[in-house]
Structures are given as C-alpha cells and as structure tokens.
Amino acid sequence: MKKILFLVPVVFLVIIIHCGSGTGTGAGGSGSGVSAVINLQIANPDPNATGTAKAVLFPVADVSQTKATVTQANLTTCTLTVSASGMSTLTHSFSVTSSASTVTTSLSVPAGSSRTFAVDCSDGSATTNNITVGYNGSATADISETTSSISINPQFKNLISDASDVINYVRLNQENSTQTKLTVGFGSALTAAQKINTQVIVEMDTDGTRTSLGTISADQASGFVSGTKATPYIQLVGGTDRPLANFYTAAGVKTMRLTCSWATNDGGNTEAVCTMGITQFKTRFGSSETGQFAAVGSLTGASPWDALPNGGNYAKYDLSPNTGATTDTLGANAAACDDSTSRTGSEVCQSGFCSTRDLCINANGPTHSSSDTVATATIGGAFNTPVDVCSSPGGVTLYLVEDTNNTLYTFNNNTGVSAVLVTGVGNLNNPVNCVVDSSGTNIYVVTSIGNIVRTVVAATGAVTTLAGSGVNATTDGTGTGAAFAGPAGIAMDASDTNMYVAENGGDTIRKIVVSSGVVTTLAGSAGNPGSTDGTGTSAQFNNPTGLAIDSTGTFLYVADRGNNVIRRVTISSGVVTTIAGTGTASSVDGTGTTSATFNGPNDVVIDPTDETLYVVEPAGNRIRKIVISTLAVTTIAGTGVAGLTNGAGSIATFNTPSFLGINPDGLEIYVGDGVNAVYRRISAPAPP
C-alpha cells in the first residue's frame, strides 16, 4: 500500500482559503494492495457566482453577521472520510490557516470499487443546538492505480450565501426545542421603499437525493412568480414596520403565517427574521426535518431577481441534530390555541395564526365554526348616538364611544355587561373615534368638537391630553401646541409608535408621535378640499373621516367621505392613491375606481391578515367589503333601506351607521348604528 497525496483545490471563486496541516486516522482494508495518487477537487457550491460573489460566506458566533472572507475564526476544519464495504473508514481532518489556493494533504487509501469520498466543512463557531452551517458533499468512484482525480460537488448546509448586494444569505436554524427560524440577510441597510417592495421566496424540497436544482432552477429564472411552484414554499413580502411571510402549497394555497420582524445584523445590514414552530415546519416540509431549499429575491418585487444559489446544487437543511426538538398537537382552525407547552403566537395553530383571543384563525382570513353567512346582532342596551367601537388586545373588553352624552363605556364581549368608564364634556367633548394600544393600557379618543386627542387609562379612567390645543385649526406642533380642525378618524401602528388622525374639517391626515406628542401633517392640503392624488401636501382630501392601518405599518386607508372614495397613503413617503370608488355617490358593487361606488363612506377597518377592508356608509345604510389584492367591492350587510333588522347580511338593515370596529381575530365587525341608538355585531364574511 502506498501513501496517496491528495491535492485539494478549494475552488471558492475569489475567496482566500488558508492552507494548513491535517491529521488522519484509519487503516487500509482489503483490496488489491495497490494505491493511486489522486487529486481531490472540491467545487464551490455556487459555481455561477462572479467577482466578490465567489466568496463563501459564514456567519460568526451570533449567527447573524456574514463575512466576505473565511478565516480561522469562523471556518475552522474540513473533514475528509473515505469509506467502502470491506475496508476500514479513513478519516482525515485539515484546518484552513493560510492564504493558498490549494490544500495539500496525504492519505493512504487502498484501491478497490465503490470508494466514497466525503468532505464536510462546517462553521463550528456558529453552532446553535448542534446545527452548523457550512457545506458538504461526497463522490463515489472505483479506485485503481491509474485513477488520477476525484471531484466533489458539495452543497451549502443550513445556509445559502453569496456576496450579492440584494440577498446576502438565507439560513434555516432550529434555535430552541420548539422554534424554527428563517433568516434572510440582505446586502445593505434597506431603505424604507425597499422594505415595502421587497419580496423573497424560499422553495423547499424534501427530496434529499437531488444533485441539481432541476425545477427550482427553472422557477428561479422567473422569480418564482409564474405558474405552480415545484414544491411548497415560503413567501416573504416587505412592510414598513415588519415583513409578512406565509407558507404556501405548491399550488399557491396559503396555509400559515409566520411571525416576522426586521432586524439589523452586526454589519449594519438589514435582516428579515421569521419564526415558526418545529411542528408546523415538519407538517409542511417533511417529518424528517431534512431536505433542500433554494431562494430568490428582489428589492423591487420584480425583475431582476437574485437567486441563491445561482447554480450548482440545492442547499441542504438538516434540523435533526437538535435532539431536544419538541413536537406538539396543533390547534385546528377556530379551535382554542394549543398552548400546552407555553408557546405563543403563530407556533400553535395548524394554519393561520393564534389570535389575541387564543383562537386559531385561517391564514386567508376569518374562520367560523358554524356558518360563513354574514349575520348581524345588537349588542348592549340603549345608547344616545353611538358612534365607534374599539377592542382591547384580547378582544374580550370593547370600548363604546357615545357622541352626544360624551361618554366612553366598557363592554364585556362575553357577558354583555356594560359600564361607564369616562363621561362628561370636560373629559370628552363629542368623542367620535377610539383606538387601544397593543398592551391594552391606554385608549386614545378623538373629540370632534373639542379638537383634541385624549388619553384614557383603561384601568382607572384617568384622562389627559395627548395632543391638541382645542383651537379649531391645522397647526403642527407638540402636544397642546398643536391644533386640529375637526379630527374624526384615528389609527395607530402595531408598535404603538405613531398615531394618525383624519382631520375632517382640515382635509388632512395628521401624524402624532405617541411618545412625544409631536404632530405633523402627513398628507393633504389644509383648508383646500379636493380629490387630487399626489405626495404629501400636494394631495387633496374632502372631509376624510375614517382611518385604518395595516399590520406592517406600511399603508393607511382613508374613508374620504366628501369624495365618495377610499384612498391609500404610503406612510413612508406620503404618496396618496385612490384605490376604490368612481366618486359618484351611490352603492354599486364593482372593482376599484372603474365601476365600484360608495355613498358617503365614513369609516374603514382592516382585518388582521391585511387582505380585507370593511367600509361603512351612513348615507347608504350599508357595510361594504374591499378585497385589497383585487379591489373587488361587494356589499356584505344592509339593503340600503333605513331600519333595524338583524339577520343575514342580505336582509339586515341599518339607520345611519357611522363608525366601525373589528375584533383582533377578525371574526367580528362592530358598527355604531347611530339613529337606531344601538351597537351592532357582524360576523365577518368568508375569506376572499
């Protein structure tokens, strides 16, 4: 038996690989007794990368930051094993320590058939729950004294990475016994516009034997945007405050929402971090916890698409080293969330997400345990000019705004018991609209005649002024140094950072920084009503009254009553666009701005999936629905005839309904039915 010299050119495109020493164990087994000198070539897992994208990148210990070069600190060891039936397995480890393009190592290997050469290069410093990143691969060949070379085409492992300025890396990790994390690292600090327009698709394949990208490669070429996908996938779309991500079947059916947030890695670049339960992951992508994945992304939501990897093999994911992984029985739609392991959020339901009322709701919208027929019912007792309803985070306590009596009530949604929380013109001077913060601590109330925004402490009823001097004017400023002209609608982002007010008398949309009370004008020309789309103060409104904000803090939706249309404001830029309504005062179902009409739309709410808007028409005595993706407008309740009839949407009647509320799980819509002096409850319709 001879000693074989292995030359291992690690073809990392432009990366500087450090060569060093190695040690080996194992002895030659049976065979002819003849050995051969073999050049072992390990190809880059992403061979189509060019320039600096040739670097194989690995995150450092906090598994968030990637580096443009591999150093001893974060890629420490490659291990080569040679095995075959009838011979002892040979193991050889070599470290990466200096700046040479090849690693020279030697190993004694007997000639024979079906010798398997396997190499594994892992980043030991970034291990979490025994799950490492790196690359590995193998090749099997018959070895004789004339054999001259063996090629191995490895795959990325739990991490796809290159030096692109679009997507820098995509990583899957099992960060604890219950939670799987998907991290998408971008090549820069994303701008507000890029966060809004970003789209990333990660396609999964549980076939662990693939040796090429196959159909995923074809899908990547089109950005995964056309036709049926080859396999199930995760689609991530951007947003101002947070991205949204959902599981889809290969046929494009949405099955579950992930919990996502924006983050910043150690290099100052943006990451999208999404989590899910390991049970949910295995339900969708294979119970073995192993498989392959590829990704594609764009910062504009359109071509050009950045593919990872952009050639060669799939990346592999293997979450099985986390031997402590805990699986669970997931809650069915409309069932109570399964929190037996104290897990929260989107980790406990079969699909959709766990609402604040501990109810699993469908990913596409509200799910009902009985019928999807829209029905109305009366809640509470007799009131004097009921206007708005806002919900606590848990959905059990509702807050009822009564205009004429200057009163804010609490209403227990389970028992039906109501009680006065705040009353009196000195506290609330004609309150019309309210919103509750994410903790349920404070209720913010707009007073239309008082021209101020008030803070009410939910536990005590204590009232203070957040913003507004009481003067009827449109004046930017701080706290009581600012002024509002007939404030009507109010909305607050999910982080409780910014609040927005529709100024009915001033024809503007105002912004309040909650922590400081600083008030500025986001859009609209004060005292200059009109219908012009535009940016900031170049846009016009005509008596805007109702507001809704999506869960990502990206868009505001405005009920522009005087124009009989629904407008959308991009919060980061102030761009105003009319999305539904021709401007004609009537209640015609249709699509967008071409055929749908509204009759004095006064308020708008959005469901928790960001897919549906609901609009109330006091003049039309109807509740309308807008599917955001298609802008299809339909009537869900009300005949147009004034009355007080409960029942299915097609027979229910209202009499000058004014404002809307929605439960946090999206299952119920609330209506202040003004002339009827009651509050109404509507079971939300089926998903679009």
CATH 2.120.10.30 residue ranges for the chain: 375-683
| Token code pair at residue 111 | 């000639």
Question: What pLDDT, in 10s, does the model give residues 391-431?
Answer: 998 888 999 999 989 999 999 888 888 899 999 999 999 99
Q: Judge whether 442 and 499 are in contact, CB under 8 Å.
A: no
Write a three-state SS string for 190-228: CCHHHHHHCEEEEEEECCCCCCCCHHHHHHHHCCCCCCC
- Helix ranges (DSSP H) in 577-616: 592-595
The CATH fold of domain 375-683: Neuraminidase (2.120.10)
Tokens 């990660």 -> residue: 202
Name residues whose C-beta falls within 8 Å of residue 226's C-beta, 6 or more positions apart in sequence. none
Residues of the chain with pLDDT under 50: 1-32, 47-75, 96-103, 209-211, 213-214, 340-346, 368-373
Query: How far is residue 177's CA from residue 322's CA, in Å, rounded to a whole number?
Result: 7
Q: Judge whether 528 and 575 are in contact, CB under 8 Å.
A: no
Q: What per-residue confidence (pLDDT) applies to 123?
A: 61
Q: What per-residue confidence (pLDDT) applies to 387?
A: 94
Name residues whose C-beta falls within 8 Å of residue 435's C-beta, 6 or more positions apart in sequence. 390, 443, 444, 490, 491, 492, 499
Name residues whose C-beta falls within 8 Å of residue 227's C-beta, 6 or more positions apart in sequence. none
Question: What pLDDT, in 10s, does the model give residues 502-549?
Answer: 999 999 999 999 999 999 999 999 999 999 999 999 999 999 999 999
**pTM value?**
0.82
Question: What pLDDT, in 10s, does the model give residues 222-258?
Answer: 655 555 566 788 889 999 999 999 888 877 788 888 8
Q: In a 10 Å sphere around its CB, with 0-12 CB exposed, 13-18 middle and 19+ buried, how is residue 590 labelled?
A: middle
Query: How far is residue 603's CA from residue 589's CA, in Å, rounded to a whole number?
Result: 18
For 388, 433, 560, 577, 602, the CA distances from 488, given in Å and listed in that order, are 11, 6, 11, 20, 9
Q: What per-residue confidence (pLDDT) applies to 88?
A: 83
Please name the amino acid found at residue 567. Answer: R
Q: Minimal CA–CA distance to 512: which of 550, 546, 483, 533?
A: 483
Query: How far is residue 579's CA from residue 628's CA, in Å, rounded to a whole number?
Result: 9
